[in-house]
Amino acid sequence: MKRARNFNAGPAALPEDVLKRAQNEWLNIEDSGMSVMELSHRSAQYDKIHIHAVETLKELMAIPENYEVLLLQGGASLQFSMIPMNLLKEGKHADYILTGSWSDKAFKEAKKIGETAIVASSKEEKYTYIPSLEDIKVNDGAAYLHITSNNTIYGTQWKKFPETGNIPLIADMSSDILSEKIDVSKFGLIYAGAQKNLGPSGVTVVIIRKDLIQDNEHLPTMLNYATHVTSNSLYNTPPTLAIYLLSLVLDWAKEQGGIEKIAEINQQKSKIIYDAIDESNGFYKGHARPDSRSHMNVTFNLPSEEAEKQFLAEAKAAGFVGLNGHRSIGGCRASIYNAVPLAHC
């Protein structure tokens, strides 16, 4: 069987080794005589998988002791609401930087909960760049500053993060978590849907600094971070299959040599495609300004819509999947997450 050259934006390519290991263990995991989906989420066998996922992520990202790792449901989209519900108190406001559709969605959800402000935006320039750090003025007394570290649709990525002092920096890292080394201690909260670099859809990782966890008893139980912290993300039935696959992807990342090694390969992968764009004498046109280019989502256009249609049709015939741009902006996009092999680029 021939596997696709998969450039999907998410759900996306998974490491073949992970799929094979899951296949091997499909009928009988941990000598239980059951598949992982048939285990009780209160069983010792499942507990081992759950803890292994959390501990391996902590190790790979060098997450400091004063952070909790939560495995939640509802996608990154539910975090757009949970963050302001838990962290935006009365009398405070939340600051947002708009660098694409996802940060705009996060901002709109926060607006429903409390006071908000936009402290920088590249919307007027079709989200082609990440605002420079000098242009960002965080408001005194802000509850937090929210950014989207990688903009999946527009293909831009933060290279350096804003210094926010005592104001917690919050980042949606859905499309670049685990793709390069970051200093977790610079952030109050990091969140990411798993379906790009971490595994299948169905589980969302939240990394939260412990001092930001408050007992928000007035909140619906499932929307309160404290609920998931005190129950080790086992308050209700977790997505056990997705968490199992997450744990296998994290093992795979370790086997690759960890984040530093993966980041090196990611640089090489994106360079191959950006070089092709830059050396095409304007035939291919990158959407992102070169200083803001993403290593995860390479977005580009051809001279006409006709040419783009032809490009996508020929790519499809050659076994390339998912090279069309997001339905909101069209064009072309190669999503080259960790599991996409260099050879495919």
> Which of the following is catalytic: 95, 158, 176, 196?
196
Residue with tokens 């919307």: 123
Which parts of 99-194 are beta strand (E)? Answer: 115-121, 142-148, 150-151, 156-157, 169-172, 189-193
Active-site residue, selected from the candidate residues 58, 95, 102, 158: 102
Looking at the Cβ atoms of 131 and 193, the one nearer to ligand PMP is 193
Is 172 labeled as catalytic in the residue annotation?
yes
188 vs 202, which CB is nearer to ligand PMP?
Answer: 202
**Catalytic residue (choose from 58, 158, 172, 252):** 172
Is 26 marked active-site?
A: no
C-alpha gyration radius of the chain: 20
| Token code pair at residue 6 | 């998969």
Q: Which is nearer to ligand PMP, 56 or 149 (CB)?
A: 149
Least Å distance between CB 250 and ligand PMP?
A: 18
Kindly tell me which of 46 and 80 has the beta carbon lying closer to ligand PMP.
Answer: 80
CB 3, min distance to ligand PMP, A: 23
Q: Which residue is nearest to ligand PMP (CB)?
A: 75
Alpha-carbon distance of 103 to 112, in angstroms, equals 15
Nearest distance in Å: CB 275, ligand PMP: 25
Q: Which of 186, 191, 176, 184 is nearest to 78 (CA)?
A: 191
> How do strand 320-321 and strand 5-6 relate by DSSP bridges?
parallel
Task: Select from 193, 187, 172, 167 the least CA-distant residue to 94.
Answer: 167
Look up 158 and say whether it is catalytic.
no
Q: CA 184 from chain center: how many Å?
A: 14
| Amino acid (1-letter code) at residue 261 | K
Minimum distance, C-beta of residue 206 to ligand PMP, in the bound complex (Å): 12
Residue numbers at the binding site for ligand PMP (CB under 6 A): 10, 75-77, 102, 148, 152, 172, 174-175, 193
Q: Which residues are catalytic?
A: 102, 172, 196
